[in-house]
Structures are given as C-alpha cells and as structure tokens.
Amino acid sequence: MTNPKYNPEAELGVISALINDGDYSSFTVQKSMLRLEERFFYVPVHRELFKIIKKCFDEKHVFDMSAMSDILQSSSNDVFMTMLNGLNKTYYSTSRLEREITTLEQAAQMRQQLKTMQSIILDCHDEPLTNLACDILHHGIQKLGGIKLNAMNDGADYEQIAESHLNGEFLDMEPVEIGIDGFGELRNCSLVTIAGASGVGKTYFGVYLMNQVGMYQPDKQALFFSLEMARNEIWERHLSILANKAFDELTKSELTEAIGLSLAVDYRVYDEPRIDIDYIETMCRLQAMRKPISVIVVDYIGLVTSKQKHDREDLRVSDITQRLAALAMNLKCIVIGLTQVNRDPSKREKSDRCPYPNDVADSVGSVRSSSIWIGIDRPELYSDELQDKNLFVAKCRKNRRGDNFEVYFDFNGGRFLPRDKPNWQSTPKPMANRYKFKED
C-alpha cells in the first residue's frame, strides 16, 4: 500500500507513556490496554515494543524502564535504542495519552480503508463481466463502510459531563430549527417515526420535513432512502414543496426557480427497492465521512430488509428501528422513518383518525426507539365536507422531550401551508385501553 497513513510521534508517545508507568495494575494502563491493538502501530520497532508490553501486561509483569531493559538485552539494538530515545526525549505525557491513542485508532482505520479500497479497485479491474464487477463494488462499499473505530466508551462522571457542556460539546443536541409553528422540538441524535395509511401523503410529508431540516442547516447534507418510488418522483415532490405548487402545473420559470432552491442544500436520493439496513448504515457512514448529515429519511421502515434472521416480524422491525436510532446517535443527526398503518383509522371519529402506535403492525419496537412518534391523516379521503378539503393533520403520539402536539396544514399538490384547527363537532368516545401496548 502506497503512502500509508501513520503518526510515528503518537506511536512513540503512547509506548513511552506506558513504559514510564510500567505497572500492569495501574488504572491508566488498564484503560489504555483495553483500547490498544497491535495493528495501531505501523512502525516495526514500535510494534515490537508494544508486543512486549502487551505480553508483560497479560502475564501481570511490570514493564517499566528497568524491566524492559532486561527483556531487550537479547533483542534488536534498534528496539532498545528506540525505547531509550523515546523516554530520554520526553515524548510521553499522561495528559496526551488518550488523544494519542485516538490518533492511532484513526490512522489504523484509515490504513484499513485504503487497503480495502485498493482491493476493491483491483478486483473490479480484473473482473471481465460488468455485472460481477458491479457486485464486487457494491459489496466492497458495504465492507468499507463497516470499518469503524473500536473506541471504548467507559462512561463519564458528572464533572466530565459538566466540562463537556461548558466546552460546547453538546451543541449538536440542541433543538433544530425547522420553521414549523407548533410542531415541537426536533433534536439531533433522535429517531422520528411518521405513521400513516396508504395514500395519505407519508412520502410528501417525509420530503417536507427533510426540506425544512435541510433548509436551516445548508452546510450539511440530507439523505433520502426510497424503497417504493424512483428518485425522480422524490425530486418532483421536493420541487412541488419548494414551489408551493403541483409539479405538473409548474411553468418553466417556476421549475427553474424551484431547481435553484433545491440546489442550495446537498440532497441525495437512494432508490433501491430492496434496501437492507446494512446498506443504509454503510452509505450513511460513508457520506458522513464526506460531509456532516442533518437528516436521513427512510421511506419506509416496513420494506427495509435485514440479513439477520429473526423468529418474528416484530423482532425484525424492532432491530431495524433500534439500528436507525443508533445511527442518529452515531452521526449526530435526525433520522425520520416512515411506516405504514395496517388498521383502518377512518372508522373512528373524524377528530381521532390520526394513527396511534397500535394501528401499526409490530410497532412496539419503533415506539420504544423513537424520540417522536407522529400519526398523520387527510380527512378529505373519507369526507366531502368543505372544511376537510386539502386538510392535512399531524398529531404527535409520543414525545420523549416534551408535550405531545398537533399541527394542521393546507395540503394541495405538495404545498404545506399552516392552517387553523377545524371545528369538528363530534368528539371521540373515551376508550381507556384502546391505545395501550405491551412493553415486553
């Protein structure tokens, strides 16, 4: 591999700090050895020194300067001199140890990614059949995205958390501006589930929320995974929202203006009919390496497949939603998952037709993993009353960080404009246990 990425100073700094301590029972040493691996050290003499330290640590022997000198008497003079020079030049510093270990982790990750990329390119180049070369590339990309840090999370005490807060490290978890009055707070590191019946406008609403999040974070990118619609259909819906007009009614100048607005943010659409959760995770991680992500939309959760075998459908859905929630945490973004209603909410009172969690098959996992769970409805699908025309209703059924909310829009051809709550005369009959679901 040409031009490998490594940091000899950090490698020597870590080795020197470990030898300077030299006590296998030291908390600092034990914490460091949980993270360190032989592959982190690219320079051969540094790798040899670490192997000796690791052996002493595993056998519960000291490995301070005196012990290492005795061990290295019969070893290469280069290894011994490297140790002496490292300590004599005071490369080591306990205060820098964790940062230097992180540097070694990142360098090792980069070397592995470069090696994998080179292997993918060579395999594709040597494969004469185009379709097989594409398969090699597809699987290689998934493998590449799976390469990640093995950093240990050993928790944090309140002093560390307070210091992180004062240093602004939690700013990514502040409320995200989306410009929708009454919608409640969306925050990064959270999964938002949108549930609706077929034909209600789940995809339109998903695109609308993606646009609102992306518009207020133009320095980031937004990803849309469509399992039912082609990329041009998602694009057309987005332009309709930007123009406040149905796509097929746009004039040439209106279309040009909408396209210009859409290019102000980096939007990307994946339109594979059989996308699995591994593919979603891989592509999101790869894109996050290129540019930070503001929002990811998955349309829709029920069609996402998994390579893992599950005995029941609810376990499969639960696993997928948990992984989507974890993806939001890892990439510090919002993930919006759209899901289909299997029961018929239209049989309920008009003011109560927005879906509840138990209107969705196997919903327990998605409810648990979601920070916000919203049911959506369009009353005009079941009513000819004038007040219901173009009405779009979204009601929050779970909000981990605040009160539930409801918002109303005038929806026509992709347009979402604020609208007052309709004056429905009838009210739903109370049914105490209707919307309960088991936690286990």
pLDDT tens digits along 69-105: 888 776 666 777 776 666 655 555 677 888 899 899 8
pLDDT at position 142, please?
65
List all residues 6 or more positions away from 71 whose beta carbon is below 8 Å from its beta carbon. Answer: 52, 56, 63
Per-residue pLDDT of the chain (440 residues; tens, 9 = 90+): 445 788 988 998 899 899 989 898 888 898 898 889 999 999 998 998 899 999 999 999 999 888 888 887 766 667 777 766 666 555 556 778 888 998 998 898 888 888 888 888 898 888 888 888 887 877 777 666 665 544 445 567 787 778 777 777 777 777 889 999 999 889 999 999 999 998 899 999 999 999 999 999 999 999 999 999 999 999 999 999 999 999 999 999 999 999 999 999 999 999 988 888 988 998 898 898 889 999 999 998 989 998 888 888 888 889 999 999 999 998 999 999 999 988 777 788 878 889 998 888 766 777 889 999 999 999 998 888 888 999 999 999 999 988 999 999 999 877 899 999 988 765 444 444 444 444 43
What's phi and psi for 322, nearest 5 deg? Answer: -60, -40
β-strand pairing of 293-299 with 221-226: parallel
The answer to whether residues 8 and 76 touch, using CB atoms and an 8 Å cutoff, is no
Residue 293: helix, strand or coil by DSSP? strand
> DSSP character for 375?
E
Positive or negative, the CA dihedral 246, 249, 254, 257 is positive
Q: What is the pTM of this model?
A: 0.69
Tell me how far apart the alpha carbons of residues 424 and 252 are, in angstroms, rounded to a whole number. Answer: 40
Question: Which fold would CATH assign to domain 8-98?
Answer: DNAb Helicase; Chain A (1.10.860)
Task: Report the CATH architecture of 171-418.
Answer: 3-Layer(aba) Sandwich (3.40)
Q: Give residue limits of the domains in the chain.
A: 8-98, 171-418
276 DSSP 8-state letter = B
DSSP string, 300-318: -GGG-B-SS--SSHHHHHH
- Reported as a single tens digit per residue, the pLDDT across 310-367 is 888 888 889 999 999 999 998 999 999 999 988 777 788 878 889 998 888 766 777 8
Exposure string for 205-215, b = 16+ CB within 10 A, e = fewer: bbbbbbbbbbb
